Amino acid sequence: MNKRTRFLISIGILLFLAGLLFVIALLPSQAHDFSNVRVIAHRGYDAPDNSLLAYENAANAGFEYVETDVRFTKDNIPICIHDVKVDDISDGQGFVEELTLREIQSISFSGSKILLFEDFVAFCADHKLSPYVDIKNYSSYTKEQMKILVDMISSAGLSDDTTWISYDFQYLRWISKYNPTARLGLISSSVGRDVISAAELLKTKENEVFIDTGSVSAQGVELCKAADIPLECWTLRRVPDKRTYIDPYISGFTTDCILD
Among the listed ranges 26-35, 131-140, 193-202, 235-244, which one has the minimum average pLDDT value?
26-35
Does residue 6 sit in the same domain as residue 59? no
Question: Tell me, what's the pLDDT at 17?
Answer: 55
72 and 2 share one domain: no
- What is d(CA 99, CA 49) in angstroms, rounded to the nearest whole number? 20
| 175-208 pLDDT, tens digit each | 999 999 999 999 999 999 999 999 999 999 999 9
pLDDT band at 26 (very low <50, low <70, confident <90, very high): very low
Q: Is 43 in the same domain as 158? A: yes
pTM score over 0.75? yes
How confident is residue 27, by pLDDT bands cut at 50, 70 and 90? very low
Count the Cβ atoms, other than its own, within 10 Å of residue 1. Answer: 6
CA proximity to 242, closest of 23, 21, 18, 28: 28
pLDDT of residue 240: 65
Closest CA to 134 of 105, 98, 165, 91: 165
The answer to whether residue 260 sits within a structural domain is no
Tell me whether residue 94 is in a domain. Answer: yes
User: Using only C-alpha atoms, what is the Rg of the chain?
Assistant: 23
Helices (H) and strands (E) in the chain, counts: 8, 10
The helix (run of H) or strand (run of E) holding residue 82 is none
More confident residue, 11 or 234: 234
Domains of the chain: total: 2
pLDDT tens for each residue of 105-120? 999 998 899 999 999 9
Residue 233 lies in a domain: yes
Same domain, 115 and 16: no
Q: How confident is the model at residue 25 (pLDDT cuts 50, 70, 90)?
A: very low
Q: Please indicate, yes or no, whether residues 197 and 130 belong to a single structural domain of this protein.
A: yes
CATH number of the domain at 196, please: 3.20.20.190
Per-residue exposure over 80-95, b if at least 16 CB sit within 10 Å of its own CB, e if not: bbebebbeebbebeee
- CA geometry: angle 196, 64, 162, nearest 5 deg: 50
Domain boundaries, position 21? 1-30
Which helix (H) or strand (E) segment holds residue 228: the answer is none
Is there a single domain that holds both residue 111 and residue 137?
yes
Q: How confident is the model at residue 238 (pLDDT cuts 50, 70, 90)?
A: confident
Q: Is the dihedral of CA 214, 218, 222, 225 positive or negative?
A: positive
HSE of 207, CA atoms in CB hemisphere, 13 A: 25
